[in-house]
């Protein structure tokens, strides 16, 4: 069951049919006692809506904060060690990969998040920018996983590599995060065979492709969520990105006009374009 936030309000997709959701407050949906049961009842009691295609699909976020996990895949650990070796930061990444406590960092508020089909940005003062395709958890105010979406943790690798303390600047800026196209509403863990695919198109041609699976994710999503909610409350719930396992080669940097396509079945494909400079 998939939940979309659109310019016409929320829609539910079930067995190929789209249904309007009577509860129009996204925060209230995230806070619902049992979202899955509520949406199942909506699909059973209502007729499919014909007007979904006329609605603009928006990022599935209202007053939730977005947080992110770091160095949860071996590929990410190796890339960070390489990029920060001149700054003497490499050891930190190795240590956090093996430590019990995960790396969690603040990523975005809703105003910084790009929805499906809209622009993401690269920083004007960065020279090495990449997308990070990440399975993203939707957590309710109790810290329970109530769904999954596709996330892009846009990152400035030169700024991050210059000094690990620059991480917030490398990670948090306008349109540095994309979420969508929907929330797969489920509290079940996704199978380890779940694949995450990244394709970057430049001038309509494939410039980079990469793939991984959740089998490569070192930490359990539920453990990441548990750490985020330790002594930290989220009255409207939160999104938690689970880290990247796909890193383009060091020679690659994003350019304005690049199209970024991230697919996680069974959620869908999140497509964004890099905004023109300025
Ligand atoms: O430690 C820096 C950030 C790592 C990250 O964003 C990732 O592994 O996905
Ligand atoms: Mg990341």
Q: Is the Cβ atom of 244 under 6 angstroms away from ligand 1?
A: yes
Question: In this predicted model, what pLDDT tens digit does every residue of 186-197 receive, in sequence order?
Answer: 989 999 999 999
Question: In this predicted model, what pLDDT tens digit does every residue of 93-144 receive, in sequence order?
Answer: 999 999 999 999 999 999 999 999 999 999 999 999 999 999 999 999 999 9
Q: Using 50, 70 and 90 to split pLDDT, how confident is the model at 27?
A: very high
Tell which atom from ligand 1 comes closest to the C-alpha of 73: 8
Residues 265 and 271: their CA atoms lie apart, in Å, by 14
Q: Which ligand is located closest to the Cα atom of residue 76?
A: 1
Strands (E), 160-203: 177-185, 195-202
Mean pLDDT confidence for 196-221: 98
Q: Is the Cβ atom of 83 under 6 angstroms away from ligand 1?
A: no
Q: How many CB atoms lie within 10 A of CB 275?
A: 16
| Cα torsion 157, 159, 165, 170: sign | negative
Best residue for ligand 1 mutational test, from 66, 69, 102, 154 (most atoms within 8 Å of Cβ): 69
| Confidence at residue 89, expressed as pLDDT on a 0 to 100 scale | 67
Residues 129 and 46: their CA atoms lie apart, in Å, by 45
Q: How far is the CA of 52 from the centre of ligand 2 (A)?
A: 32
212 bridge partner residues: 196
Nearest to 101 by CA among 59, 69, 146, 140: 69
Q: Is the pLDDT of residue 11 over 90?
A: yes
**Which of 69-83, 219-233, 255-269 comes out lowest in average pLDDT?**
69-83
Residues 77 and 251: their CA atoms lie apart, in Å, by 18
92 exposure class (CB count in 10 Å sphere: 0-12, 13-18, 19+)? middle
Q: Is the Cβ atom of 71 under 6 angstroms away from ligand 1?
A: yes
Nearest CA to ligand 1 atom 2: 70
Q: What are phi and psi of 170, to 5 degrees?
A: -70, -20
| Confidence at residue 62, expressed as pLDDT on a 0 to 100 scale | 98
Q: Is the pLDDT of residue 217 over 80?
A: yes
Mean pLDDT confidence for 211-215: 98
Q: How many CB atoms lie within 10 A of CB 232?
A: 12
Q: Is the Cβ atom of 76 under 6 angstroms away from ligand 1?
A: yes
**Which of 65-74, 78-87, 215-224 comes out lowest in average pLDDT?**
78-87
């Amino acid at each position: 069951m998939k939940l979309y936030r659109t310019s016409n309000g929320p829609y539910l997709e079930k067995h190929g049919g789209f249904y309007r959701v009577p509860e129009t407050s996204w925060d209230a949906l995230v806070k619902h006692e049992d979202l899955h049961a509520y949406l199942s009842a909506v699909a059973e009691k209502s007729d499919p809506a014909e007007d979904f295609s006329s609605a603009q699909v928006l990022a599935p976020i209202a007053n939730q904060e977005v947080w992110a996990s770091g160095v949860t895949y071996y590929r990410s650990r190796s890339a960070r060690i390489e990029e920060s070796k001149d700054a003497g930061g490499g050891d930190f990444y190795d240590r956090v990969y093996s430590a019990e406590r995960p790396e969690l960092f603040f990523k975005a508020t809703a105003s910084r998040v790009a929805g499906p089909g809209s622009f993401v940005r690269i920083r004007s003062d960065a020279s090495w920018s990449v997308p990070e395709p990440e399975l993203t958890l939707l957590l309710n105010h109790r810290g329970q996983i109530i769904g999954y979406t596709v996330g892009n943790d846009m990152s400035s690798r030169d700024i991050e590599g210059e000094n690990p303390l620059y991480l917030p600047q490398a990670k948090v800026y306008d349109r540095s995060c994309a979420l969508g196209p929907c929330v797969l509403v489920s509290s079940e863990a996704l199978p380890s065979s779940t694949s995450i695919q990244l394709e970057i198109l430049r001038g309509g041609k494939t410039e980079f492709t990469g793939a991984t699976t959740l089998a490569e994710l070192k930490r359990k999503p539920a453990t990441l969520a548990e750490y985020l909610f330790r002594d930290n409350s989220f009255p409207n719930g939160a999104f938690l990105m689970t880290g990247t396992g796909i890193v383009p080669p060091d020679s690659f940097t994003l350019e304005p006009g690049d199209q970024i396509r991230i697919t996680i079945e069974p959620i869908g494909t999140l497509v964004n374009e890099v905004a023109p400079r300025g």
